[in-house]
Amino acid sequence: MVNIQNALVTGSSRGLGRAIALELGRAGYRVAVHYAGRKSAAQDVATEIRSSGGQASVFGADLSDRAAASSLVNRVILEFGSLEVLVNNAGITKDGLLIRMKDEDWDSVLRTNLDSAFYTCRAAIKNMMRARYGRIVNVSSIVGVQGNPGQVNYVASKAGLIGLSKALAKEYGSRGITVNAIAPGFIESDMTAELPEKVRAAYLEGIPAGRFGKPEEVAATVRFLCSSEAGYLNGQVIGVDGGM
């Protein structure tokens, strides 16, 4: 085991990914901050990690492209020397009812949210197998467990991440590699902040905690799953949803 572990967090220029990257940086990981189109935001995340005494580098890649997704992992390993932790957080939405959904909206969401995780996992597993150690966390969603109308593409991608995690956990658990998924519920974000008050109130009625979650609470869960203490947690889906 190396003293400093290296972590790649996809889609970490904003939102949950940003919170996860900052949390891992504070925990002592060297963090690869990934972005698709927000380079300056990713640089800000890396700067914040460094300002708190951590180490970080910025990597750009369009994860809807299979070659770029695989290449991203290889570039991180080339620069860092190894990769102990992979957090697949990158995701997009293109919502709509099934009957009106365009083929390209289905394809782009599945490519970015699910296919990219397959390619990054496949590239990272090779390095982790040699080290006989690894932590992979795939960021699913409560809708991947419960479903949600108007999001058949997004729901399918998030449910797919759960299946991917469970299968990989069984394939590589004997090599010291754990693969888990987290399923966040309603988390405070730019999107939830823009919801009408009546809609927010209706959602809150279904949350026993009585509030939306914070990105930092999701990040703390990811940080634990990435740690050596979580070595006997494998193939699990952890809901961070206030009891929904």
Per-residue pLDDT at 96: 93
pLDDT at 193: 74
Burial call 102-138: b when 16+ CB within 10 Å, e when fewer: eeebbeebbbbbbbbbbbbbebbbebbeeeebbbbbb
pLDDT of residue 192: 72
Q: What are the residue numbers of the active site?
A: 154
Across the chain, which has 244 residues, the per-10-residue mean pLDDT values are 83 95 97 95 97 96 94 97 97 93 96 97 96 97 93 97 98 97 90 77 90 95 97 97 91
Q: Is the dihedral of CA 170, 144, 68, 104 positive or negative?
A: positive
Q: How far apart are CA 219 and CA 41, in angstroms?
A: 18
- Tens digit of pLDDT for each residue in 201-217? 888 998 999 999 999 99
Q: What is the pLDDT of residue 196?
A: 82
**Residue range 3-13, pLDDT digits in tens:** 789 999 999 99
The pTM of this model reads: 0.94
